[in-house]
Amino acid sequence: MSVKYVLAIHAGCEGITREYYGPEAVEEHLAFLRKSLAAGRAVLDGGGRGVDAVCATVEVLEDCPLFNAGRGSVFTHDGTIEMDASVMSGEDLSAGAVAGVTGIKNPVRAAALVLEKSPHVLLIGAGADSFAQSWGLEEMGPEYFQTARRREEYLAAQKQAGEQFGTVGAVCIDSAGNLTTASSTGGITCKEYGRVGDSPVIGAGVYADNASCAVSCTGEGEFFLRRAAATRIAALVEFGGLSLEAAASTVLENIRALGGKGGLIGVDAAGRVAFSFTTRGMFRGLARQGEPDRVAMFGPPGIWQ
């Protein structure tokens, strides 16, 4: 039986206000969201698998210097770039992730290789970089990742406390009815050398299970880790009888109660989607088979059915 595919994306949720983004910047960011959806659609229209669709989608956002993943990743406290990414398939709970990679152009591809080619789930640091290199993934030097804008933010963040974060991600139900998720991030500006957030941690920043839903989170990773956010949403759907939207709101409120904020996207086995956030906006987009793309960045949150 063929299912109508659904693909949802996010590209971070921090500092998205109308005061900060003028009309031109809004259009520029939304154009990249549309480009990302188009890449995922190209895979899904050809009958491709969700894993390939979410990777193609996230790859466009990693290549875009505007978002905090791949090119355009934020700087660590030491002025270096350390990226995290993950992919999970709800069909068989296979998963792959990398943390602290420094020279791979598309960390989400490295995560997919861990899923497909290795017996492991999570590779870190130099080992993850060299694993990706051994499979021929494209490498880039530090100057590719370190954009002028991120350097300015880094220098400002060194002087005053405050954080800058962002992640890109995608969730999908493909025409075989399988749920998939992916995330990719540079983490949080001025993070400690070696810090890993929620995005490459299966169950925290991402989770996908055909029995419930696929989720990709963005926000203050430490809180999503402490709440095991993505798997908690899946459990509330599977065992708690909550709708995906109610489960997403519950977990974001749990995180707020701890003092954290963020957002997430999800899709369930019936193709219902959730776009939830406790910040003022979230870069987001939705592609449903046979319907026009929808993209947005400011609040309020909500579901586009």
Q: Which residues bind ligand ASP (CB under 6 A)?
A: 12, 14, 165-167, 185, 187-188, 197-199, 205, 218-219, 221
Q: How many CB atoms lie within 10 A of CB 78?
A: 11
Q: Assess whether 57 carries a catalytic annotation.
A: no
Q: Tell me whether residue 261 or residue 288 sits nearer to ligand ASP (CB atom).
A: 261
Nearer to ligand ASP, 43 or 217 (CB): 217
Cis amide linkage into residue 292, ω under 30° from 0:
no
Place of tokens 């890993």: 196
Give every CB contact of residue 239 below 8 A, 6+ residues apart in sequence: none
Which CB atom, from 91 or from 198, has the smaller least distance to ligand ASP? 198
Helices and strands, counts by H and E, the chain: 9, 12
Q: Which of 5, 15, 9 is nearest to 74 (CA)?
A: 15
Smallest gap, in angstroms, from Cβ of residue 188 to ligand ASP?
A: 5
Shortest separation between residue 278's beta carbon and ligand ASP, angstroms: 13
Q: Quick one: which H or E segment has residue 174?
A: none
Give the Cα separation of 17 and 81 in Å (integer): 26
Identify the CA nearest to 172 among candidates 4, 2, 8, 1: 8
Q: Which is nearer to ligand ASP, 214 or 269 (CB)?
A: 214
Is 267 in contact with 6 (CB distance < 8 Å)?
yes
In the complex, minimum distance from the CB of residue 200 to ligand ASP, in angstroms, rounded to a whole number: 9
The least CB distance from residue 99 to ligand ASP, in Å, is 10
CB of 293 to ligand ASP, least distance (A): 23
Residue least distant from ligand ASP (Cβ)? 221
Alpha helices (H) in the chain, listed in sequence order: 23-45, 50-63, 107-117, 125-134, 142-145, 148-159, 221-226, 229-238, 244-258
Question: Using CA atoms, how far apart are residues 94 and 111, in angstroms rounded to an integer?
Answer: 11
Complex with ligand ASP: residue 14 or 91, whichever CB lies closer? 14
Cβ–Cβ < 8 Å for 105, 70: yes
Say which of 102, 167, 231, 278 is annotated catalytic.
167
Residues forming the active site: 167
